[in-house]
Structure 1
């Protein structure tokens, strides 16, 4: 085995899906790219990590709502581009030619080009670790997108796209919630 510097240990665990988080601050929509997220259990409860250094944070904190949008692997350059500019001086929907769609429960828009979306309300914000707990209100998936693969950030500027899917639902049935 080769030792990995402890400062890079997060690259072993980080690869959840890249998320495009949308907000609406009462005047404008914004999008930010997130790579730090987690599912908290089988309920629609999620946690993300962000803080005041991101332009979207104030809207997220003040409105208490957002949309988590999952881009496909074919959107990798869009996701990286969104993450490398600020909504403070950029209309990211316009710059990246993304289509807004009206959400059912929140003012933040859905992104029509994404393969999955979850409308959310903020349930808790922990200041010490900049963790925001979100409760899902509605979820959307699929559509007509040919590329259904998710992208995962490793944390070092490289990404992984989903590949072959292994179905073990029958083997895991006793551990899964009903209906899956």
Structure 2
């Protein structure tokens, strides 16, 4: 094995999948691309890392709600493009041809073209670490989409798409909650 600079260690465990986070500040919808998310249990509890350097952060602080929209691998260029411009001066839904869909529990919209969407309420801000803790309120999946692969950021400008699935549900049954 070769030594990897410690400053690049995160590229070995960069979380996934890439998530498009939608917000609505009461006047306009916005989208930001986030690659630092985490599932916190078998419950609908999640966390993400972001802060005031992102335009959407003010809306997250103010409204305490958002949508996690999970793009398929076929949307990689749109997901990267969304992350490369600011909602301060760009209507990202229009620019990237994404369709906002009214959510049931939050003002932020779902994204029609995505594999799945999770309506979320923010339950905590861990300011010291720029972590936002969220609770899922409703979830939606589009099993009819042709491309079901998710994309994962490596952290260095490269991405990996899901490939073959390995089913070990029976082997892990004792650890998986009933109904999952």
Aligned length: 180
Normalising by the residue count of structure 2, what TM-score does the alignment of the two structures yield? 0.99
Task: Give the secondary structure class of the aligned counterpart of 2:23.
Answer: strand
CA distance in 2, matches of 1:25, 1:138: 20
Deviation at 1:143, TM superposition (A): 4.4
Q: 1:133 is matched with which residue?
A: 133
Q: 2:43 is matched with which residue?
A: 43
Structure 1 segments of 4+ aligned residues over 2 angstroms from their partners: none
Where in structure 1 are there 5+ consecutive unaligned residues? none
Task: Give the secondary structure class of the aligned counterpart of 2:90.
Answer: coil
Where in structure 2 are there 5+ consecutive unaligned residues? none
Normalising by the residue count of structure 1, what TM-score does the alignment of the two structures yield? 0.99
Q: 1:71 is matched with which residue?
A: 71
Q: 1:146 is matched with which residue?
A: 146
Q: 1:104 is matched with which residue?
A: 104
Show the 5 A alignment for 1:1-80: 1-80=1-80
Task: Give the secondary structure class of the aligned counterpart of 2:56.
Answer: helix
CA distance in 1, matches of 2:11, 2:98: 29
Check conservation: 2:11, 2:154, Cα contact below 8 A.
Answer: yes
CA distance in 1, matches of 2:169, 2:84: 38
